[in-house]
C-alpha cells in the first residue's frame, strides 16, 4: 500500500520477498503457495492453462505456473515456461504439457521434475535438476524420455526427438526397449515404433523451426529458445548448443541457469507480494512491483538491437588426443572481435588465440618450441541476433587460418674439437589457410558477469580445427566492448586521475586427479584499483575455485590496454602457489577527460605443481 508517497509492504509480503531473494525454496517460504513451480515468461496470446475443475484461462507474461497445471496452445499459440531451477519448456502450437511433479532444493540443487508432453512440439533446456542422473523425465506418447545436463526438442506427430547438447538423452519405448543418444546433432526417430537413432536432417530442423518460432511472441527472458529460428543450415540448431566442447557447454548452461533462476524467483516474488497485499489493501499496487500487464494483441513488442562492433579478449583450453580428451593446453594472448548488425539481423565474429608448446633457449631467452596461431571466423545465421544480450554465431568453414612456427636448433662446429662451435636457430613456418573449422560463438546475458555493465558483451566460444595431421578441439570464454582510445588514457595520465573497478571473473578450471583431467566452471570476484598517473593498477581475483590471485598490471605508453604477471604464494604449501598472467582494456568511453565506465580482460593461471590450471575472463564497472 502507499502511504504519504511511500510504498509499504505487509510484513508477510516482506518475509516472502526476503526468503525468495535469499534462495530459499518456495515450498518452504510460503505454504499457501507451495504449488507454484514457475512462471510464463514468453506468451503468444493463443495459449491457455487450466487446473483440475477450473476452466481454461488465457496465459499472460508473469502468470504463475502451478503443479499439475495443464498448458495448452491453439494453432497460433506459443508459450515459454521457466521453472525455479532454471529449466525452460517452450511449447509450440497445438500442444499440451503438464508439470506432473516438481521438487527442488535450491541449497543442495537436488530434486525431481516429471512432465507429460502429450501433443505437439516442444523444446526443453535443462536447469539445475537436469545435472543429476534421473532428475528430469518427460512422458511422451512414444515413451518416457530422460535428459541429463542438456537440451532437446520433440514433436509427437512426427515422433522425433532431437538431442541438441548435454550428457545424454534416452527414451524407454512402449516395448520396454531403451535407446540413448550421446551425440548432439542426432535424433531419436520413433516413427517405426521400435526406435532408430539417426543424424538430424534438414526436415527435422524445419519441423521445429516452424513450430517453435513466432514473430508475435513476446518474451521477458532472453535465455533459452528462439535462437534457431530461420536457420538455413540443416544442423544449425544442434550447432548452436551442441558442437562446443563439453566443458564450455556445461559452463554456459550453468551460467544461464543462474540468471534464469533469479528472473523466475523475482517474478514469483512479485506475484506473491501482490496476492498478500490484496488481502488487506484493495487498491491496485504501483506499477513498479505489479506483474507485467496483459499483452496488447495489436502490437508486437520492440526488441532492443542497437548493434555495433566490439573488441576485447578471449581465453580457453586446447585438447588433442582421442576425441579431444588429451591434456588441456592453455591458449594465450586471446583476442575477440564481434560485430552485431540489427538491420541484417546477423552476427559475425573472430577469435584469435595462440598455443605455445614446449620451450627452447634462443639468444639466452626461453621461447616456445612451437607456436600455433588460430584465427577463427564465425558467422551468424538468420535470426542469430536475438537482442542486445542474446546472439550467436557458428563456425564458418573457409574463414579460418592457422600459422604454425617451429624452432629448430643445430650445433655448428667451427673448430677441430666438438665443443668448438655454436648453436644456430632457424624457424619453420607452416601456413594452413581455409582449414576445416566448426564451432560456435555464443553470448550470455551480461548481468551474470557484471550487473552494471550494459556496455560489454561476453559469452563462450568453441571450435574443432583440422589442419595437416592435427585435430585440435578448443573452447573458452570471450568478452568485448567499445575500447577506450589511447588519447583518453594519455589525457587521464596528465590529469593524474584514478579509478576503482569491481565486478566478476568467470572461467574454466582443468584439474588433474588420478591421471584424468577434469574441467568445470568457476567464478570469482574481481577488483582493479587503477592509477592513471602511474599507468598501473592493482588487480585481484578472489574466491575463484576457492583460490585468490592478483598482481600489478601496467599500461604501456601509446597503448590503451594493460598486462602483467599475477599469482599467489601459498606459504603452507609452495606446490599450490599460483602464477600466471592477466590482460585487459578500458571500455565505456565517457569523454577525453573522464575515467572509463569499466574494464574487461582475460587471465591464465596455474599452480606450481601443474595439477590445477584455469583461464577465463573478467569485467567490472567503476565504483
Residue 43 pLDDT: 56
Q: Is the pTM of this model over 0.75?
A: no
Residue 305 pLDDT: 84
Highest mean pLDDT among 1-15, 150-164, 540-554, 581-595: 540-554
Q: Which residue has the higher pLDDT, 103 or 270?
A: 103
Asked if residue 237 has pLDDT above 60, the reply is no
User: Cα–Cα distances in Å, from 581 out to 26, 294, 357, 371?
Assistant: 43, 51, 17, 18
Q: Where are the alpha helices (DSSP H) in 279-389?
A: none
Asked if residue 235 has pLDDT above 60, the reply is no
Q: Residue 501's pLDDT band (boundaries 50, 70, 90)?
A: very high
10 Å CB burial of residue 413 (0-12, 13-18, 19+) is: exposed
Highest mean pLDDT among 54-63, 68-77, 78-87, 167-176: 167-176
For the four alpha carbons of 486, 487, 490 and 491, in that order, the dihedral sign comes to negative
φ/ψ region of 316 (left if φ > 0, alpha if ψ in -120 to 50, else beta) reads left
Angle between helix axes 246-278 and 11-21 (nearest 10 degrees) is 180
594-622: pLDDT as tens digits: 899 999 999 999 999 999 999 999 999 99
Strand spans (E) along 414-560: 421-433, 436-443, 456-467, 470-481, 498-513, 516-531, 536-544, 547-554
Q: Average pLDDT over the chain, rounded to whole?
A: 74
427-485: pLDDT as tens digits: 788 888 888 887 888 887 666 687 778 889 998 888 888 887 778 888 899 999 999 98
Q: Residue 583's pLDDT band (boundaries 50, 70, 90)?
A: very high
Q: How far apart are CA 5 and CA 133, in angstroms?
A: 52
Q: How far apart are CA 395 and CA 398, in angstroms?
A: 9
Are the C-beta atoms of residues 151 and 123 closer than 8 Å to each other?
A: yes
Q: Which residue has the higher pLDDT, 108 or 156?
A: 156
Q: How far apart are CA 294 and CA 26, in angstroms?
A: 25
Query: Rg (Cα) of the chain, in Å, rounded?
Result: 27
Total residues found in the chain within this entry: 623
| Sheet of strand 143-148, all strands in order from the earlier edge strand to the far edge | 57-58, 47-50, 70-73, 96-105, 110-119, 136-140, 143-148, 168-173, 178-181
Q: Can you tell me the mean pLDDT for 152-156? A: 93
Chain-centroid distance, C-alpha 273 = 31
Between 165-179, 258-272, 369-383, 407-421, the lowest mean confidence (pLDDT) is in: 258-272
Three-state DSSP at 156 gives coil
Long-range contacts of 290-297 (CB under 8 A, 24+ apart): 291/60, 291/61, 291/62, 291/63, 291/267, 292/60, 292/61, 292/62, 292/220, 294/60, 295/43, 295/45, 295/60, 295/61, 295/218, 297/45
10 Å CB burial of residue 155 (0-12, 13-18, 19+) is: buried
Give the three cell numbers for residue 64. Answer: 504463475
Residue 71 pLDDT: 80
Asked if residue 385 has pLDDT above 70, the reply is yes
User: Cα–Cα distances in Å, from 385 out to 153, 380, 616?
Assistant: 21, 8, 24
Can you give the three-state secondary structure of 49-72, one letter per residue?
Answer: EECCCCCCEECCCCCEEECCCEEE
Q: Cell 566452471 maps to which residue?
A: 521
- Secondary structure element (H or E) that encloses residue 101, with its range: strand 96-105
Nearest to 260 by CA among 128, 103, 77: 128
For the four alpha carbons of 283, 286, 291 and 296, in that order, the dihedral sign comes to positive
Are the C-beta atoms of residues 373 and 331 closer than 8 Å to each other?
A: no
Residue 596 pLDDT: 94
Amino acid at each position: 500500500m502507499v502511504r504519504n508517497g511511500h510504498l509499504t509492504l505487509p510484513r508477510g509480503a516482506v518475509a516472502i520477498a526476503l526468503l525468495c531473494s535469499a534462495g530459499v525454496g518456495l515450498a518452504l517460504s510460503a505454504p499457501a503457495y507451495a504449488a507454484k513451480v514457475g512462471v510464463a515468461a514468453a506468451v503468444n496470446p493463443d495459449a491457455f492453462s487450466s487446473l483440475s475443475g477450473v476452466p481454461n484461462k488465457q496465459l499472460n507474461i508473469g502468470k504463475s505456473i502451478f503443479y499439475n497445471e495443464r498448458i495448452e496452445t491453439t494453432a497460433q499459440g506459443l508459450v515459454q515456461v521457466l521453472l525455479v531451477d532454471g529449466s525452460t519448456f517452450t511449447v509450440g502450437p497445438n500442444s499440451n504439457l503438464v508439470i506432473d511433479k516438481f521438487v527442488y532444493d535450491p541449497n543442495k540443487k537436488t530434486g525431481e521434475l516429471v512432465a507429460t508432453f502429450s501433443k505437439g512440439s516442444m523444446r526443453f533446456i535443462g536447469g539445475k535438476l537436469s545435472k543429476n542422473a534421473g532428475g528430469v523425465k518427460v512422458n511422451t506418447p512414444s515413451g518416457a524420455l530422460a535428459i541429463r545436463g542438456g537440451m532437446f526438442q520433440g514433436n509427437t506427430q512426427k515422433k522425433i526427438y532431437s538431442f541438441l547438447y548435454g550428457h545424454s538423452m534416452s527414451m524407454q519405448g512402449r516395448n520396454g526397449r531403451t535407446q540413448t543418444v550421446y551425440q548432439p546433432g542426432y535424433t531419436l526417430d520413433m516413427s517405426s515404433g521400435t526406435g532408430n537413432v539417426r543424424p538430424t536432417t534438414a526436415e527435422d530442423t524445419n519441423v521445429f523451426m516452424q513450430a517453435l518460432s513466432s514473430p508475435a511472441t513476446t518474451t521477458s527472458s532472453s535465455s533459452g529458445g528462439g535462437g534457431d529460428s530461420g536457420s538455413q543450415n540443416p544442423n544449425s540448431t544442434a550447432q548452436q548448443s551442441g558442437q562446443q566442447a563439453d566443458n564450455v557447454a556445461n559452463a554456459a548452461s550453468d551460467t544461464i541457469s543462474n540468471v534464469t533462476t533469479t528472473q523466475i524467483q523475482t517474478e514469483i516474488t512479485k506475484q506473491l507480494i501482490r496476492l498478500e497485499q490484496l488481502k488487506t489493501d484493495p487498491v491496485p499496487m504501483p506499477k513498479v512491483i505489479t506483474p507485467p500487464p496483459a499483452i496488447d494483441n495489436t502490437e508486437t513488442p520492440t526488441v532492443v538491437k542497437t548493434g555495433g562492433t566490439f573488441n576485447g579478449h578471449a581465453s580457453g583450453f586446447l585438447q588433442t588426443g582421442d576425441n579431444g580428451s588429451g591434456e588441456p593446453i592453455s591458449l594465450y594472448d586471446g583476442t575477440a572481435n564481434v560485430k552485431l548488425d540489427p538491420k541484417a539481423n546477423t552476427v559475425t565474429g573472430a577469435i584469435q588465440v595462440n598455443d605455445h608448446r614446449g620451450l627452447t633457449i634462443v639468444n639466452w631467452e626461453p621461447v616456445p618450441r612451437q607456436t600455433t596461431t588460430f584465427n577463427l571466423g564465425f558467422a551468424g545465421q538468420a535470426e542469430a541476433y536475438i537482442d542486445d544480450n542474446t546472439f550467436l554465431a557458428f563456425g564458418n568453414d573457409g574463414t579460418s587460418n592457422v600459422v604454425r612456427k617451429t624452432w629448430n636448433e643445430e650445433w655448428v662446429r667451427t673448430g677441430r674439437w666438438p665443443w668448438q662451435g655454436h648453436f644456430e636457430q632457424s624457424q619453420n613456418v607452416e601456413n594452413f589457410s581455409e582449414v576445416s573449422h566448426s564451432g560456435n560463438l555464443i553470448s550470455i546475458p551480461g548481468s551474470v558477469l557484471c550487473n552494471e555493465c550494459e556496455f560489454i558483451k561476453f559469452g563462450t566460444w568453441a571450435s574443432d580445427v583440422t589442419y595437416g595431421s592435427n585435430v585440435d578441439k578448443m573452447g573458452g570464454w570471450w568478452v568485448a566492448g567499445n575500447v577506450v582510445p589511447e588519447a583518453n588514457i594519455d589525457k587521464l595520465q596528465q590529469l593524474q586521475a584514478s579509478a576503482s573497478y569491481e565486478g566478476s571473473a568467470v572461467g574454466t578450471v582443468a584439474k588433474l586427479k588420478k591421471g584424468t583431467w577434469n574441467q568445470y566452471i568457476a567464478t570469482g570476484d574481481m577488483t582493479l584499483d587503477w592509477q592513471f598517473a602511474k599507468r598501473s593498477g592493482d588487480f585481484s581475483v578472489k574466491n575463484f575455485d576457492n583460490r585468490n590471485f592478483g598482481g600489478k598490471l601496467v599500461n604501456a605508453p601509446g597503448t590503451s590496454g594493460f598486462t602483467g604477471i599475477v599469482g599467489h604464494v601459498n606459504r603452507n604449501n609452495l606446490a599450490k602457489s599460483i602464477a600466471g598472467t592477466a590482460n585487459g582494456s578500458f571500455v565505456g568511453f565517457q569523454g577525453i577527460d573522464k575515467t572509463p565506465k569499466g574494464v574487461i580482460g582475460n587471465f591464465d593461471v596455474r599452480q606450481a605443481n601443474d595439477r590445477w590450471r584455469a583461464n577465463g575472463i573478467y569485467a567490472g564497472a567503476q565504483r
